[in-house]
């Protein structure tokens, strides 16, 4: 009986996958040091366009279908390693609503970063999941959004 209940519950909440190519973002440092490096308490604000990888939202591959906005607060600076850490909050606007996400990926400057999806509106009202972002050398990135709701 328990197994049947689990299977039925998962059938009601299928995973939806969205894939985007993200243009190199506009990066604005607020409250940085004189060297232009982030300081503890400083913010890094990032905006970028979301383009379809494949067909989504009834629009063809390569079409700009939304934007993502993110603000990151610097909570740790390790100058010897050139490393920064903190928390980033973001919102992704797409044709059928928006979803919010959180993580430290943009500050870590890691090639692969993960964010938790924390909610949304429209098609994303009860959504949870994660975003995996793979950075490219030219400053652009690719995102895979795994939504459960």
DSSP state of 140: -
pLDDT tens digit sequence for 63-80 = 999 999 999 898 888 877
What would the mean pLDDT of 121-143 be, rounded to a whole number?
93
Q: What is the pLDDT of residue 13?
A: 56
Contact (CB, 8 A) for 126 and 108: no
- Encode 83-135 in three state secondary structure: EEEEEEEEEEEECCEEEEEEECHHHHCCCEEEEEEEEEEECCCCCEEEEEEEE
pLDDT tens digit sequence for 13-43 = 568 999 999 988 888 888 766 666 778 888 8
pLDDT band at residue 49 under the 50/70/90 scheme = very high
CA pair distance 8, 142, nearest whole angstrom:
33
Average pLDDT of the chain, as a whole number: 85
Q: Which residues pair with 45 in a beta bridge?
A: 28, 71
Dihedrals phi, psi of 12, to nearest 5 degrees: -75, -25
CA pair distance 118, 53, nearest whole angstrom:
23
DSSP state of 11: H
Rounded to the nearest 10 degrees, how much is the dihedral formed by the CA atoms of 89, 46, 121, 52?
A: -130
Q: What is the pLDDT of residue 5?
A: 44
Contact (CB, 8 A) for 88 and 56: no
Residue 54 reports pLDDT greater than 60 = yes
Helix (H, G, I), strand (E, B) or coil at 36: coil
What are the chain's domains?
Answer: 14-148 (2.40.480.10)
This prediction has a pTM of 0.82
pLDDT tens digit sequence for 90-129 = 999 999 999 999 998 767 667 899 999 999 999 999 999 9
């Amino acid at each position: 009986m328990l197994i049947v209940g689990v299977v039925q519950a998962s059938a009601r909440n299928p995973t939806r996958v969205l894939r985007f190519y993200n243009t190199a973002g506009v990066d604005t440092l607020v409250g940085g040091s004189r060297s232009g490096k982030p300081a503890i308490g400083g913010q890094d604000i990032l905006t970028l366009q979301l383009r379809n990888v494949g067909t989504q939202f009834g629009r063809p591959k390569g079409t700009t279908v939304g934007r993502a906005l993110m603000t990151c607060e610097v909570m740790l600076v390790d100058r010897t390693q050139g490393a920064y850490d903190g928390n980033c909050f973001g919102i992704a606007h797409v044709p059928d609503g928006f979803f919010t996400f959180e993580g430290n990926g943009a500050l870590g400057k890691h090639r692969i970063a993960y964010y938790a999806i924390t909610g949304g509106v429209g098609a994303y009202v009860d959504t949870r999941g994660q975003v995996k972002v793979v950075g490219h050398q030219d400053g652009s990135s690719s995102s895979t959004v795994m939504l459960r709701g």
